């Protein structure tokens, strides 16, 4: 799948769509999910153009991969999520229900989060 430069997260990165921006560094930005599924629901996205985890892990260079995952941890620390616990999740493709074709990690926190995946 080729990268669609007009996907909603690309537009957020370019500042064309507003978001509640919570963090930014040279590799990533983090912002609140527009439709939160938990008291804390944050999205962390790389600044580079990658469709999904599959694309990111295959094409991003080591610095981008390290920088991105360090940013995810930093966001969780800054939002004080470590003590209570949090869940990190990335959807890739149809079975996972990926809606936005720009690689992103969800961070959920703020209540007990239940099973890892729905039963069916």
Q: Is 30 in the site for ligand 5GP (CB under 6 A)?
A: no
Is 106 a catalytic site residue?
no
Interface size with ligand 5GP, residues (CB under 6 A): 14
According to DSSP, the β-strands at 28-32 and 86-89 are unpaired
Please list every residue from 45 through 104 that binds ligand 5GP, using CB under 6 A.
91, 97-100
Q: Is 8 in the site for ligand 5GP (CB under 6 A)?
A: yes
Surface-to-core class of residue 69, CB atoms within 10 Å of its CB (0-12 exposed, 13-18 middle, 19+ buried): middle
Q: Is 19 in the site for ligand 5GP (CB under 6 A)?
A: yes
């Amino acid at each position: 799948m080729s990268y669609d430069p007009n996907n909603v997260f690309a537009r957020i990165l370019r500042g064309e769509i507003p978001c509640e921006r919570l963090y930014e560094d040279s590799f990533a930005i983090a912002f609140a999910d527009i439709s939160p599924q938990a008291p804390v629901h944050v999205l962390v996205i790389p600044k580079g153009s990658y469709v999904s985890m599959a694309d990111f892990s295959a094409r991003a260079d080591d610095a981008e991969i390290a920088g991105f995952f360090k940013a995810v941890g930093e966001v969780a620390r800054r939002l004080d999520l470590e003590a209570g616990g949090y869940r990190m999740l990335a959807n890739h493709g149809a079975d996972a229900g990926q809606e936005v074709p720009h690689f992103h990690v969800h961070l959920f926190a703020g209540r007990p989060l239940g099973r890892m995946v729905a039963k069916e």
